[in-house]
Amino acid sequence: MTDTTLAARAASAPGVPVRTKAGRGVYPWLALPAIGFYLIFFGWPLVQMMWRSVFDDGFTFAGYWEFFSLPIYWYVLGYTMAIGVVTLVLTLAIGYPVAYWLVRLDRTWTVVLMAFVLIPFWSSGLVRTYAWIVILGRQGVVNNLLIRLGIIDQPFAFLGTHWAVMVGLTYYLLPYMILCLYSVMNNIDRNLMKAARNLGASPFRAFLTVFVPLTKPGVFAGSFLVFMLAIGMYITPALLGGPEQTTLPLVIALQINEALDWTLAAALSMVLLAFTIIIQLFANRFVDLDHMWGGAR
């Protein structure tokens, strides 16, 4: 006798409650600790920041007015977004073939090589950024190698350039892209590629028409994650960049640490948050982010 038959008979009996499979194991109260954590450590600071952005010895919009009235802030915001886009493209261009290569390897080699992808997570981001200072410095590994090879005569100033910031951000965020892509590629049925080959498609055509479209969730998830992390990054642009590589998080930190203008810093933070939300809403029109992140369908 099936569960459906039992449920139907129980429902026909008066006064007998029926508990269906959909209702089993649903305990909303289990989410209360997580909700309380987010309200205390995220919600309340966010409310304080919103309030500080419009209050300084009285109600004011001076911080927002300064941002929208000065072109320099728009340039910094544009540069911050450009860094996010370039980092996204670089990590995707490098991470996609790496993730595809890891998927095609034997499981033993995949586990070993995946450990090298995860090793950067075991060290501090500050330490990793300082490592790039050693590598790209005037007496660093790259300059010494180029001088020994006779390519340059004098040390090249790699630090304080757009190139250095891009290298640092790409290295820092590449594991996120690889993990997002690998998790999707690893779940693709290999028989689909074989079926395409049996139907006459070349290996490259089968890859483009069958495999690549199935990896779109991983591409979108990795791109979205890398972009959001890149535009909010502070350590890498601060240590590897110069005055021309100033991003909005750097300006916010400058207002807090040196200018002591908390109202402007809070206003700039809210502007960055607003643009982040707008980008997310815009992306959600083309990509089902809820489905992509495993939410309700």
- Cα–Cα nearest to 133, from 159, 157, 165: 159
CA–CA separation, 264 and 54 (whole Å) = 9
Residue-level pLDDT at 292? 55
For residue 143, the Cα-to-chain-centroid distance in whole angstroms is 31
Measured CA to CA in angstroms, residue 223 lies from 10, 76, 181, 183, 209 at distances of 50, 22, 10, 14, 21
pLDDT at res. 91:
94
Reported for 69-77, long-range contacts at CB under 8 A and 24+ positions apart, including other chains, are: 73/248, 73/251, 73/268, 76/246, 76/247, 76/248, 76/251, 77/248, 77/271, 77/272, 77/275
Residue 128 has a pLDDT of 85
Q: Find how far residue 117's CA is from the centre of its chain.
A: 16
How high is the pLDDT of residue 8?
A: 46
The angle at the Cα of 235, spanning 130 to 125, to the nearest 5 degrees, equals 60
| Two structure tokens written together for 259 | 């200018």
Task: Return the sign of the alpha-carbon dihedral for residues 146, 152, 157, 158.
Answer: negative
Task: Say what the pLDDT of residue 88 is.
Answer: 93
Burial of 84 from C-beta contacts in 10 A (0-12 / 13-18 / 19+): buried
Q: How far apart are CA 257 and CA 254, in angstroms?
A: 5
Residue-level pLDDT at 216: 87
Rounded to an integer, what distance in angstroms lies between the CA atom of residue 215 and that of residue 188? 8
Mean pLDDT by 10 residues, the chain (297 residues): 47 47 64 88 88 82 85 90 93 92 84 82 82 86 85 83 90 91 87 83 85 88 89 88 86 83 87 87 68 51
Residue 103, CA distances (Å) to 132, 186, 203, 219 in order? 29, 6, 16, 15
CA dihedral 115, 166, 138, 246 (to 10 degrees): -130
Q: Which residues contact 283 (CB under 8 A, 6 or more apart)?
A: 220, 224, 289
Cβ(184)–Cβ(190) below 8 Å = no
Domain residue ranges in the chain: 71-287
CATH number for the domain running over 71-287: 1.10.3720.10
The CA distance from 164 to 137, in Å, is: 10
